[in-house]
Structure 1
Amino acid sequence: MIAQATQILEQALVDDHSFESFGDLLRLKEVVARLETRMAAGKSRRELEKAGASASEGYRIERRANNWWNPDVPVEHQDLILGALDKLSPSSERRTEIYQLAAAAALKSTPRQTHEYTKKLVRQENEELAQDPFEAYRQRRFSLGNQDEHGGCKFNGYAPAATAALFKALIDQAFRTDQATRDEDEDRRTITQREADAFEQVLRWASSDRRSHTGHCSLIVSVTEWDEFDWQVKFGTNVGLDLNLMDVDYLSGDKVIDYIQVHDHNGAVKALVTASRSANFHQRLSLFGRDGVCQHPGCNVPASRCDAHHVVPWSRGGPTSIDNLALLCPKHHRLIDDSWLEDHLEMELGRAVMVQADGTRKRNESPAAQQAGGWQVVYGHPTRIAFTLS
């Protein structure tokens, strides 16, 4: 049967097929991955490589075959979840629980979001089991290599959370500044090239002894009144990195953490209004505290890379007030219909909700969105969910 399927697919390379079959091809790829995993059960990686798999393919297939697989989880998500779980401390007793949390997130997330969420769960578990709270700080390193044949230099390193958060805040600010000056339709740079250009801009700021007088915040930490203050507690930031109390204390001398956000019982922020079309500094602080990330369902782009969207459009008299603003990343901002005939945002109890053309209303319930202060005021801290394997 497999030999016949192979011949049919080889013939498909010769025949002229339209794009309408592309979805079927993706489903076929999923079936093949599940079949190869089942066939590899009980086989060693050496046997898989002898059968024609590369070393990396053999490792992924062997790992899939040796671990339970939620049948609803796509293969790409499964590989990313298991890859993140490879970093879990051997002393952890929560591997199954973490897998189930990640699998549940995979059903409504992109592969990248699933991977980031799983890594976060693993990191939190490893930190809870760690005996040395300064371990990440002791592991800090940076190295700049010599020039290669192209004249450039490679660099790599490892930064503790406080340093990484400060660096990412600057990178994100440079990224947004760069994007605002370019025509997106004519920008042919890759994402990594854009990140590299943002890094160069940060270096230029540093080399010119930059001083910030613009009123734009680099890094904001969200704290709720019921947080327990010990070194293992994590606080969300507008750049998507979590900091503990030692990280916050380490950064406090840089005067980048000065703000606490207050919410009402619905998670909404008290009104802050300006006559300008653009959200001001304090409004962006409030948006971060309430929303945390882009408000499109399933999105986890952090506040530092989002626009302040007017729910009732500015052109239709919508005010620049916190109860008429919501965070949207540039991608989803472009998809919003200001006429409200198609997909658009509305405010409900002081927080944004996506309203689709058929009237369906849905909030962003991604793992990152649940870390926002506004969410936690209403629903509390995200809880661990217990699953039973069948």
Structure 2
Amino acid sequence: MARLSVQEAVDQIEAGMSALSALMADPSLVSFDEVAGEFERLEQALVARGRVDAAFAWLAESADAGRLVGSTNVIDYLTAQLGISRKEAWSRLRTGTSLFSPPPPPPPPEPSETEEERRAREQSESERAEKARKERKEAQCKSKKASAEILRIIDQELTDLSDAADPDRSQLYNRALSEARRRRPEDLRTWLRRQVTLANQKGAPDLLAAYRRRFLTIGEPEADGSCTIRGRLPAAIAAALKAALAPGERPGANLNDEELEDTRTRGQRRVDQLMTILGAQPSSIGHGMGSVLLSVTAEDIDNLSPTSEFTTNTGDRLNLMDILRLGAAKFDAMVLHDTDGQPLALGRGRRTASFSQRLALFAAQGVCGCPDCATAAIHNDAHHITAWEQGGPTDLINLTLVCPPHHAANDDSHTGAGGRGHLDRCLITGRVGRRAGPGQPLRFNETQAASESAGDRIRARQKPPPAEDDAA
């Protein structure tokens, strides 16, 4: 009976996709306005594909499907019969295990366990098993509305979760599915990565974990002589590298004539900056090597602990050991915030005014001011909310961080020209957001990366705690 039902469903999908493929054979003959709504509906309908794929992978393992291709490994069956990569096969199988497999059995009791200890242990194990069962059931329901991309992101990020983590995998998996309802995929990845870090620290803190996993490889020369570089860098080294490369990302950097049109991609500019760094002493590089900045509140300093971490202008989070490795023994600039998280005053050392303003913007925002954007401050432009050409001053009240793509799409006239929106500042809170057009409401950046800025954390103290469902 199940086979016939599955067969009928697959037949309908196959017929529907064939019809769609024929209709879209020449998209120039199709009116976008006529079909846009239906393709949006198709995307929502296909969301269930990720859960279905994971369920089948779990079923294949349960049925020892590897035997069908002469193997004892279900991965061989999935790759051979479905034509997917081993990476995708493992991802589907891990997702299926998270959703459908019962939790592992508890460890065996201690031999010298007393009767009272035995009863307490059994009670604890029973409560833990019941909690895991509920978490798994909730996750199964939520996964029906999660796309394959979302399930893949959750699977990838949870691979770094330690066995001793608190909360455990099933709890974080369930929470991640809840967060997926309100976060874009990129932001969900950032949020979950942070939760994994916190869970690992609570279970068994290991400040050297990232350093043990560090590596850098340079591949063999390809046909054109170029090489592919792969690596995994601890946060401190990653932050230092990003800061060193950032000055070379601007158009015209490292060119003999900076007035010439720069047709290089950002990635190509980074390579040229790397060559400049390798071929010159830092003191001979006119535009500097870049700085790693920390976003810290006074409360952070009061509550310092071995596991304290701080967000940076490069997008990395540094713990105390990372900061020591960078040699950050003193700071030559500071930012004072008001209770709404907006910069009040600047104390400057040897840095220029423009650097001080960027420092203040980083402390207030951390990332691009546009909704759902997590582009790190070091890659952002300082944007005039009221354009310089229209008399807008270069003052903090008129400046905000914005990434180059969103900067290019901003309507400086604030008239809605070309159907574009613009960045604006809330007159009540002073916070910067984006309007889709004149008279449209301000939308703020609520990403995980934005929430880690000093300004946002100060604002968060004024907010009521989230409802239980929101916190789940």
- Bucket of the pairwise TM-score, normalised by the shorter protein: 0.7 to 0.9
TM-score of the superposition, structure 1-length normalised?
A: 0.83
1:111-150 aligned at under 5 Å gives the runs 111-150=185-224
Query: 1:6, CA displacement in angstroms?
Result: 0.9
Tell me the equivalent position of 2:89.
58
Match of 1:231 among 289, 306, 314: 306
Q: 1:178 to 1:371 in 2, by over 3 A?
A: farther
- Determine which structure has more spread, i.e. the larger CA radius of gyration: 2
Tell me the equivalent position of 1:218.
291
Tell me the equivalent position of 1:351.
431
Contact 2:424 2:434 in 1 (8 A): yes
TM-score of the superposition, structure 2-length normalised?
A: 0.70
1:367-382 aligned at under 5 Å gives the runs 367-380=448-461
List alignment gaps of at least 5 residues for structure 2: 1-7, 62-73, 100-138, 347-351
Tell me the equivalent position of 1:299.
373
Q: 2:59 aligned with 1:42, yes or no?
A: yes
Query: 1:157, CA displacement in angstroms?
Result: 3.4
Output the amino acid matched with 1:133.
L
Q: 1:389 to 1:89 in 2, by over 3 A?
A: same
* Greater helix share, structure number: 2
* SS of match in other structure, 1:353: strand
* SS of match in other structure, 2:383: strand
Tell me the equivalent position of 1:90.
163
1:255-274 aligned at under 5 Å gives the runs 258-270=332-344
Contact 1:308 1:327 in 2 (8 A): yes
Q: 1:285 to 1:360 in 2, by over 3 A?
A: same
Tell me the equivalent position of 2:11.
3
Q: 1:200 to 1:106 in 2, by over 3 A?
A: farther
Cα distance in 2, alignment partners of residues 31 and 131 from structure 1: 37
Contact 1:105 1:367 in 2 (8 A): no
Q: 1:178 to 1:108 in 2, by over 3 A?
A: farther
The aligned length equals: 378
Cα distance in 1, alignment partners of residues 288 and 344 from structure 2: 20
List alignment gaps of at least 5 residues for structure 1: 273-277
Contact 1:220 1:259 in 2 (8 A): no
Cα distance in 1, alignment partners of residues 378 and 190 from structure 2: 17
Cα distance in 1, alignment partners of residues 145 and 47 from structure 2: 11
Cα distance in 1, alignment partners of residues 166 and 204 from structure 2: 14
Q: Which moved more, 1:359-368 or 1:26-35?
A: 26-35
Cα distance in 1, alignment partners of residues 462 and 323 from structure 2: 20
Q: 2:237 aligned with 1:207, yes or no?
A: no
* SS of match in other structure, 2:316: coil
* SS of match in other structure, 2:327: helix
Cα distance in 2, alignment partners of residues 4 and 244 from structure 1: 54
Q: 1:80 to 1:134 in 2, by over 3 A?
A: closer
Cα offsets for 1:227-284 (capped at 9, x unmatched)? 12222100110000011122212223698x5333210111111267xxxxx9711100
1:62-73 aligned at under 5 Å gives the runs 62-66=93-97, 67=99, 68-69=139-140, 70=142, 71-73=144-146
* SS of match in other structure, 1:89: coil
Query: 1:286, CA displacement in angstroms?
Result: 0.6
Cα distance in 2, alignment partners of residues 216 and 149 from structure 1: 33
Q: 2:242 aligned with 1:162, yes or no?
A: no
Q: 1:294 to 1:93 in 2, by over 3 A?
A: same
Match of 1:77 among 150, 164, 187: 150
Cα distance in 1, alignment partners of residues 213 and 87 from structure 2: 28
Cα distance in 1, alignment partners of residues 333 and 397 from structure 2: 19
Contact 1:40 1:61 in 2 (8 A): yes
* SS of match in other structure, 2:154: helix
Q: 1:172 to 1:106 in 2, by over 3 A?
A: farther
Contact 1:271 1:322 in 2 (8 A): no
Tell me the equivalent position of 2:176.
102
Cα distance in 2, alignment partners of residues 108 and 182 from structure 1: 44
Query: 1:177, CA displacement in angstroms?
Result: 4.8
Residue identity (%): 28
Q: 2:46 aligned with 1:29, yes or no?
A: yes
Higher relative contact order (CA 8 A, sep 6+): 1
* SS of match in other structure, 1:360: coil
Query: 1:323, CA displacement in angstroms?
Result: 1.1
Output the amino acid matched with 1:26.
E
* SS of match in other structure, 1:153: coil
Contact 1:101 1:385 in 2 (8 A): no
1:231-250 aligned at under 5 Å gives the runs 231-250=306-325
1:156-195 aligned at under 5 Å gives the runs 156-177=230-251, 189=265, 194-195=266-267
Output the amino acid matched with 1:345.
L
Contact 1:345 1:353 in 2 (8 A): yes
Q: Which moved more, 1:313-322 or 1:374-383?
A: 374-383
Query: 1:221, CA displacement in angstroms?
Result: 0.8
Q: Which moved more, 1:151-160 or 1:43-52?
A: 43-52
Query: 1:119, CA displacement in angstroms?
Result: 2.3
Query: 1:146, CA displacement in angstroms?
Result: 4.4
Cα offsets for 1:267-320 (capped at 9, x unmatched)? 111267xxxxx9711100110011110011111111101111111222222111
